[in-house]
Amino acid sequence: MDLENDFFKNLFVVDFGESNNQKFLSDSRIERTIVGIINNYFDSNPVVLLNYVCDIIDSKQDFRKRLFDKWYRNFNNDDFSKINFQYEIPEEDIKYHLGFIFKGNIYREEELIENVNLLLEEFTNLK
């Protein structure tokens, strides 16, 4: 993502969805596949700052956040850190869940939190 901000110069977004709108509930292969892709990407690009936003299209963003948190707990080997943010748009009554996954030896959590909050504030002021 090009946010024209030096702190986020290595920001990438992970996005995935169902194939042909078919839901495969409780399929552990989905979890292993997505986590494997993310791990492989970090192996090749350790300075990546990975972002995801829980889709709000069907109002199941809270469920998605819990699912991603579970996947992170199941597969974290202490090489990674994850920070969750909640962003609300009051006039639209929408709550977004954003997550950032990163190598703890590359980014400092306090600095990431500060920069994300500044970016969210800028975004809010543009509206």
pLDDT in the model for residue 93: 81
Mean per-residue pLDDT pooled into runs of 10, the chain (127 residues): 85 79 72 89 93 88 91 85 90 88 93 94 79
The predicted structure's pLDDT at residue 2? 72
CA–CA distance, 118 with 51 (Å, rounded to integer) = 16
Residue 81 has a pLDDT of 92
pLDDT at 28: 79
User: Which amino acid, 60?
Assistant: K
pLDDT at 94: 83
Predicted TM-score (pTM) of this structure: 0.85
* CA proximity to 83, closest of 100, 62, 105: 100
